[in-house]
Amino acid sequence: PVLVVDYGAQYAQLIARRVREAQVYSEVVPHDTPVAEIAARNPAAIVLSGGPSSVYADGAPQVDPELFNAGIPVFGICYGFQAMTAALGGTVEHTGTREYGRTEVSISGDGGRLHNDLPGHHPVWMSHGDSVSKAPEGFQVTAGTKDTPVAAFESVERRFAGVQYHPEVVHSPHGQEVLRRFLHEIAGIRPQWTTSSIVDDTITALREQIGDRRAICGLSGGVDSAVAAALVQRAVGEQLTCVFVDHGLLRAGERAQVERDFVAATGVRLVTIDAVDRFLAALAGVTDPEEKRKIIGREFIRVFEQAARDLQAEAGAAGEQIDFLVQGTLYPDVVESGGGSGAANIKSHHNVGGLPDDLQFSLVEPLRALFKDEVRRVGLELGLPETIVHRQPFPGPGLGIRIIGEVTAGRLETLRAADAIAREELTAAGLDRDIWQCPVVLLADVRSVGVQGDGRTYGHPVVLRPVSSEDAMTADWTRLPYDVLEQISTRITNEVSDVNRVTLDVTSKPPGTIEWE
C-alpha cells in the first residue's frame, strides 16, 4: 500500500481517497508509527499529510529522519513538506507571512516532473504559517508563490517530492494530477486499484475466509449492508442468508424494494421478518427520543437474534452451523476507532443500536478497506440497481424518530404518505443527487387550524428538512427551488388527510441535528 502518515489534520483520509482515485491502494497510519513498523509493511510510497501550522511548535510531531533512509519514495504535503525539509537539511522559517485559502503558484524553471506542462500560474489551496526558505541539498524547486519562493520541490533520483499547498482539495484544480505524477512517475507505482480488482480480490479473500461454511447478514436497506451482502453472495452463493427486519418504521415501498430489487440483482436467499406489531407495542406511550431509540435498538437485536437462532435450528438438523455474521463496516469506521490493527471494531450505532457483543458469530467485513464512494462503485459493478447504490441515508430507527410524540400505526401512515410525496417530487425535479437527504417530520403533538374545502380543519404540521452535507457531521439547509417546495406543499395538504400545514426547516447543523430526535 501507499501509507498516508496522519499528522492530526482532517486531511489524511481525503489524501488516502485521492491516492486511491489514482488507482493505487492506500491506508492511513498515525504519525507515531515507528519507522521500522512502516518499513515492515513494505509500502510502495509514503505520503506525509498536513498537520499543525508550525514544525517548531511545542509538541509538534516530528518526522524520524530514518524514514528517508528506508529506500521508500516520500511525498510531503503542507506540514509534511516542511517536516521533510527540516529532516533533510533544508530551512523552514517562521516568516510571519501566512497564506490561507486560494493562492496562485507560479511554475519555476521547467516545472520538473510534477509541474511541467501545467499552466505557468494556477490556483492552489494553501493553509500555512511557516514557509520553506531553502530546499534540501539536491532538490529542484519547481513552484513558488508571491510569499513562498519554495512551494514545491522534488528529487526524481531519490524519489522524494513535496508541495506546500494541499493537492488533495478540490480548490487545487491540478492537485490530483500532481499527486498522480508523484505516484505513477516518481514513485513508479503501477495503477492497479480498480473497481474490478477490488471485487475480484475481495471475493477471493471471502472464499478463503468462509470456505464451505455458512454466513448470515442483516440487511438494513442501506448501501453498505447491501453491497457487503452482494459481495458475500457472489463469493459463496447459497451459503449466505440475509435477514431483513420490517419494524414498521420504514418508508413507503422500502420493504418491497429490498425484497424485489436486491433479490433480483443478487439472487440472494432472503428471510423477511415481520415485526411490526412487536415494535408498535414496545413503542406504545413513549415520547422521549432517547427512549424510543433504545427500544427500537433493543427490539431489533432481539428479532435478529431470534431469526439467527431459527436459521441455526433449521440448519442444525442438516449439520451446518451458521458461523459468520456479515457486517458493512467501512474504512473510515476502522480508522476512527483507532483501528487497522486487526481488532474488530463494530460501530455502536452501525445499524439500529448495533449488534450485541455476545452474538456467537465470527465477523465478515468485506468493506473494511473501502471508502463510501468505492462501496458505491463496487455495488454498481456487482449489478445492484441505482435505487440501492445511490440511496440517501435513512436512520436505523426509521420514521420512529421523525414522529414528534408517540408513534402509532395511524401516525406512521400519515408520515409515510407525506414522505412519499416529498421524495417523489424531489426525484421528479432531478434533485436527488443534490441533497444529502430530506427528512419529513410529523409534529404529531402539535395542531394548527386550517381551512380546506369549505370547512375548518384542525390538523398537524409536517416539517421538510432538506439538507446538503459531505459527511453528515455538519450540514446546511438546502435552498430548494420555490416551485418544488410549492408542489410538495400543495400535494401533501391535498393528499394527506390530517396534515394541513407544510413548514420548512432552515436550520443548519450545528446547531440543529439533521434528524429532529
Site residues (CB under 6 A) for ligand XMP?
Answer: 349, 393, 395-397, 437, 472, 509, 513-515
78 catalytically annotated: yes
* Active-site residue, selected from the candidate residues 27, 31, 78, 154: 78
Q: Write out the DSSP string of 101-137.
A: EEEEEEE-TT-HHHHTTS-SEEEEEEEESSEEEEPPT
Cβ proximity of 142 and 117 under 8 Å: no
CA distances from 227 to 72, 326, 385 (A): 35, 11, 11
Looking at beta carbons only, is 192 or 513 nearer to ligand XMP?
A: 513
Looking at beta carbons only, is 207 or 294 nearer to ligand XMP?
A: 294
Measured distance CA(154)–CA(158) in Å, rounded: 9
CA dihedral 137, 140, 141, 142 (to 10 degrees): -160
Measured distance CA(102)–CA(205) in Å, rounded: 44
In the complex, minimum distance from the CB of residue 397 to ligand XMP, in angstroms, rounded to a whole number: 5
Looking at beta carbons only, is 143 or 441 nearer to ligand XMP?
A: 441
Looking at beta carbons only, is 131 or 437 nearer to ligand XMP?
A: 437
Residue 476, beta-bridge partner list: 468
Cβ proximity of 461 and 499 under 8 Å: yes
Bond prior to 395 in cis (omega within 30° of 0): no
166 catalytically annotated: yes
Instruction: Kindly state the cell numbers that stand for 122.
Output: 494556477
The CA radius of gyration of the chain, in Å to the nearest whole number, is 27
Residues 6+ apart with CB under 8 A from 164: 78, 81, 82, 126, 128, 131, 132, 145, 148, 150, 151, 152
Where is the binding site, in residues? 220-226
CA angle at residue 504 from 500 to 509, to 5 degrees? 145
Looking at beta carbons only, is 41 or 349 nearer to ligand XMP?
A: 349
Measured distance CA(510)–CA(457) in Å, rounded: 35
Residue 253: DSSP 8-state: T
Instruction: Kindly state the cell numbers that stand for 152.
Output: 514545491
Where is the binding site for ATP, in residues? 220-226
Looking at beta carbons only, is 88 or 440 nearer to ligand XMP?
A: 440
In the complex, minimum distance from the CB of residue 79 to ligand XMP, in angstroms, rounded to a whole number: 30
Instruction: Kindly state the cell numbers that stand for 45.
Output: 510510497
* Active-site residue, selected from the candidate residues 31, 115, 166, 174: 166
In the complex, minimum distance from the CB of residue 363 to ligand XMP, in angstroms, rounded to a whole number: 18
In the complex, minimum distance from the CB of residue 301 to ligand XMP, in angstroms, rounded to a whole number: 13
The set of catalytic residues is 78, 166, 168
